[in-house]
Chain A
Amino acid sequence: NAGVTQTPKFQVLKTGQSMTLQCAQDMNHNSMYWYRQDPGMGLRLIYYSASEGTTDKGEVPNGYNVSRLNKREFSLRLESAAPSQTSVYFCASNPGISNTGELFFGEGSRLTVL
């Protein structure tokens, strides 16, 4: 049972390049999330999708776009990467129906922007 799968696990970009982080879950969850983790700042919500066909901004959405491609997949795109976007990115999912908050996380994608 794979759970939440993120690709790639590691990526190095130059300033101004674009890339997409992919996330897929096989638990039939309705809600999906993208967080970034930075030292001393915990996890901050970038975007989330409460259900297929909807997306909403989180705390730190600037510089990012998302697509909820279908119920399984939720991608995060950086159109023009900046050094401030160097971080570890986590995708998570949640059943969503009652939403008592338990999130299931992927293993993370470590992005470095030079």
Chain B
Amino acid sequence: AQSVTQLDSQVPVFEEAPVELRCNYSSSVSVYLFWYVQYPNQGLQLLLKYLSGSTLVESINGFEAEFNKSQTSFHLRKPSVHISDTAEYFCAVLSNTGRRALTFGSGTRLQVQP
């Protein structure tokens, strides 16, 4: 079985500052890793994913995440945040065997202040 830990439940940050949202996972098999974003009163949307290949993956709106197998981490970063990035961010893992369904972390609420 796999699990996901997001250590920070809330991250307040000022506009144009850098941010890192932390995600660690545990699994006995190879996994795929994901970040989803949820804006207020909406469903979740895929932000970025790591399946294989380059360990650094990027989204179209400036976020990036790096897969670190030795540390079992997949932290999400952005060098300069905007007010519009205020949302809840969920890290998720999918093992390539067994149950074919995502396991989500508890979420991190990013609050960008002017």
A31 contacts partner chain B, Cβ-Cβ < 8 Å: yes
Interface size class, chain B: 20 to 34
Query: Which residues of the partner chain A approach B36 to less than 8 Å between Cβ atoms?
Result: 103
* Contact code string B14-58 (vs A, CB < 8 Å = 1, else 0): 000000000000000000101010000111111001010000000
CB distance from A95 to the nearest CB of B (A): 12
Q: How far is A56 from B106 in the complex, measured between Cα atoms in Å?
A: 23
A41-B106 CB under 8 A given contacts A100-B49, A101-B49: yes
Q: How far is A56 from B104 in the complex, measured between Cα atoms in Å?
A: 18
Query: Which residues of the partner chain A approach B49 to less than 8 Å between Cβ atoms?
Result: 100-102
User: Do A101 and B44 have beta carbons less than 8 Å apart?
Assistant: no
Q: Which residue of B lies closest to A90 (CB)?
A: B43
B60 contacts partner chain A, Cβ-Cβ < 8 Å: no
